[in-house]
Amino acid sequence: MSAQRKSILTFGFTDVKKKTDKLRTAKCRFCGVLITDSMSTTSNFLRHIKTHSGKHEEFKWYQQGNASDGAASFKQTMPLDFSCAGHAVAATPPMENTSRCYGQSHPKQKRTVRSVVNDLIVGCSLPLSLVERPQFRRFCEVLDPSSRVMTKADVTMEIDRQYAKVKEEVIALLAKVEAVAVTLDIWSDRRMRGFLGVTAHTILDFELKTRLLACHRFLGQHTSENIFNVFENICTSFRVKEKIFYIVTDNASNMLKAFTTEFPSG
C-alpha cells in the first residue's frame, strides 16, 4: 500500500475492516459514517474527506508535514485561497470538530437544511452547488461546529420533500372548489430549452386563490398534441381536470389548436 493510501486512512478513518476479498470498510473520524472502498483504491475515502469543510486541505498539510496522527499541523505558513471572486486571501485553518456531528434527523440539522433551501437556494436564487463550496462549508462550521456537512443530495431531497408537501396543500385547496380557471404559456429560454407554465385560479370563501401548478421542462416539438398531453397530465396530477371551465392562453396557432380540437367540450 502506498504512503498516500496509508495516510488517508490514518488521517481520516478508524476501525478499518475487510468486508470481502475485494472490499473494505472504515469509519470516518469526523462524522462516524462507514465508508466502503476496494482493497486496492482509496477514491471513496478521499471523496468522503472532501465533503468535510477544510479536511482535504488539512489532509494535504498532514501529508507534507508527516504528522504522526490524524490532525494536521498548522504551524507552517497558510496557503492563499484564490477561490473567492478572484481575490487572494489567507486560507483560514479549518476548525477542529471535536464534538459529535448532528445526525441527519436531528431537529437543528433539519432546520438548517430547510433554511438553506428556503432562504438561499429559493429566496436568493442561488445554485444547489453553493453547499459544496469550501467557503460555505467553512461558514457553516464557524456558525455551529456540530453541524453536519450538507451535500447537493441533501438539498435536493429537501426540495423534493417541500414540493410534495406544498403539492398536497394545493390539491387539498382545489378539492374544496367546484370550478377552476387556468392560464397556460409555453416559452424557450436563451439556450432554447422549452418550458410550460400552468397556473390555477379559483374563488374560495369569497377570496381569489391563485396557485402555480407547474413550470415543467417541455421536451420535444411544441405541437398542439404535445402541449395538450403535458397539460392534461398536470391537471390530472392536481385532480382538477373535471373542474376546468376556462383556459387562457396566447393566440399562437399551436395553443389554439390544442384547446379547440383536443380539449373535450363540456
pLDDT tens for 43-59 read 888 888 888 867 877 78
> Cell 426540495 maps to which residue?
159
pLDDT of residue 69 exceeding 90: no
pLDDT for 94: 45
pLDDT tens for 175-189 read 999 999 999 999 988
pLDDT tens for 206-261 read 999 999 999 999 998 899 999 999 999 999 999 999 999 999 999 999 998 988 87
Exposed, middle or buried, 200 (CB in 10 Å: 0-12/13-18/19+)?
buried
The residue ranges of DSSP E strands in the chain, in sequence order, are: 13-18, 23-28, 34-38, 80-84, 87-90, 180-188, 194-204, 207-218, 244-248
Which runs of consecutive H residues, i.e. helices, occur in 13-133? 43-49, 55-65, 107-115
Confidence band, pLDDT 50/70/90 cuts, at residue 127: very high
The dihedral through the CA atoms of 116, 122, 128, 133 has a sign that is: negative
The answer, as to whether pTM is greater than 0.85, is no
pLDDT for 152: 87
Confidence band, pLDDT 50/70/90 cuts, at residue 86: very low
